[in-house]
Amino acid sequence: MKTKVSLLHTEPSPSLESVCDHVRRCTALIGGLHSFLSRDSRVMVKPNVGTISSPQEARNTDPRVIEAMLLLLKEIQVKKIVIAESSIVGTDTFEAFKAMGIDDLSRRYKTELVDLKKEPSITKRVPSPYVFPSIHVSSRLEKVDVIINLPKLKTIAATPVSMGLKNLKGFLPDKEKKRFHHVHLSRGLADLSQIIKPQFTLIDGIVSSELYEPKETNVLFESRDVIAADSVASRAAGFDPAEIEYLRLASEAGAGTMDRDSLEIVGDSLEETHLDLKQTLDYAEAFAASFPGIKIVEGGPCSGCTGALYFSLKKARTLGLLDKIGDLTLVVGTKVENMPSGENILCIGNCTKKLGGKHFLPGCPFITAEFCDYIEQHFV
């Protein structure tokens, strides 16, 4: 039997009512929630709420999608629902929930709201490891029967796309997140896919995140198989999933399927879905495109520094600082071996302290306000 992936287009700027209708239809196309859970199931809703940002910035899962899922669960009269997340390193998860209005959603729908950073971790053995024989994950996984995975469709710099499988990184404690980036992110994700297998994945592509900027794409993807969902959404975004290393490795490890002949796409046509999201070859290229005049010398920074740097540069631009400084070189990551030469060079994050640069901003990750203050004091 083929693995089903549902695909539905929404109208531009859909209302909450319309989003709820599309989520209901999309879910029905793959058998409905009742096919794998009951009112007595302990359900965890796992959105992507990695950063403190507004819904309009499209950095996190659309609250309308989360609410639509809560409505479906309440229709089945599910008694135990938890909304859980662990934001990127250095970010307060509850502040991120609040900025997105998810704390209000949780109150209205009477769910538990959990910051996974504050939960103890357990160690899980990886059956066929690529890089990590075992991984530390949240102990909350042992307290639920069903994981409903609600990622945002993104193109980013650390990996070509960020969707269902990468959203599972939120189950890692911060120390483990750093280890993934410092060792091998894609192989680590493939290892993670073998120990955390959500029962349902709905990819929010209503407003996608295109290299950290919002782009209205008006599409939803759903599947019981996270790899299948990611692979179909990747094709729609203009990628060959076989060239996305962590998807290919996860599929080869048996965590899911991305073979087109093994998939049945129901709903709207994949061939007529062309999202044309911008993609980048590397982290430095992505930031150069967004912030002309800023040069990045990078050595495999973690997502904490990646996110902090993006928001710091965006804030500095809003304050008019970038227009005043001209060219600026930023050095970030653990694997930078040689300090670049020239003026206007700032090493950021604790990982770059060893380089001994004249200008250094500490932090793991560093703080946006301190970044802007340092720029204003030393480079303006």
pLDDT at 292: 85
pLDDT in tens, 171-186: 999 999 988 877 888 9
Dist CA 310 CA 212 (whole Å): 8
Architecture of domain 3-267: 3-Layer(aba) Sandwich (3.40)
Dist CA 277 CA 186 (whole Å): 21
| Average pLDDT over every residue of 288-315 | 81
DSSP secondary structure code for residue 348 in this structure = E
Q: Is the separation of the CB atoms in 257 and 241 below 8 Å?
A: no
Percent of the chain with pLDDT over 90: 73
Dist CA 65 CA 47 (whole Å): 9
Among the residue ranges 33-47, 161-175, 294-308, 333-347, the one predicted with the least confidence is 294-308
Dist CA 308 CA 375 (whole Å): 15
Give the pLDDT band (50/70/90) at residue 12: very high
Contacts of 239 (CB under 8 A, 6+ apart): 160, 161, 279
At residue 10, the 3 state secondary structure works out as coil
Dist CA 348 CA 345 (whole Å): 10
Run of H or E including 113? strand 112-115
| Average pLDDT over every residue of 346-353 | 91
Domain locations in the chain as residue ranges: 3-267, 283-378
Residue of 163 and 184 predicted with greater confidence: 163
* pLDDT beyond 80 at 282: no
Q: Is the four-CA dihedral 22, 25, 29, 30 of positive or negative sign?
A: positive
Report the mean per-residue pLDDT for the chain. 92
pLDDT in tens, 199-214: 999 999 999 999 888 9
* pLDDT beyond 70 at 318: yes
DSSP secondary structure code for residue 2 in this structure = P
Q: Is the separation of the CB atoms in 107 and 70 below 8 Å?
A: no
pLDDT in tens, 68-112: 999 999 999 999 999 999 998 878 999 999 999 999 999 999 999
Dist CA 205 CA 8 (whole Å): 10
pLDDT at 25: 97
Helix segments in 171-259, DSSP class H: 174-183, 185-192, 226-237, 245-252
* pLDDT beyond 60 at 345: yes
pLDDT at 88: 87
Q: Is the separation of the CB atoms in 81 and 43 below 8 Å?
A: yes
pLDDT at 280: 65
pLDDT at 281: 56
pLDDT at 163: 97
* pLDDT beyond 60 at 277: yes
Tokens 């949240």 correspond to what residue? 138
| Nearest partner of 130 among 170, 182, 189, judged by Cα | 189
Cα 135 to chain centroid, rounded: 19
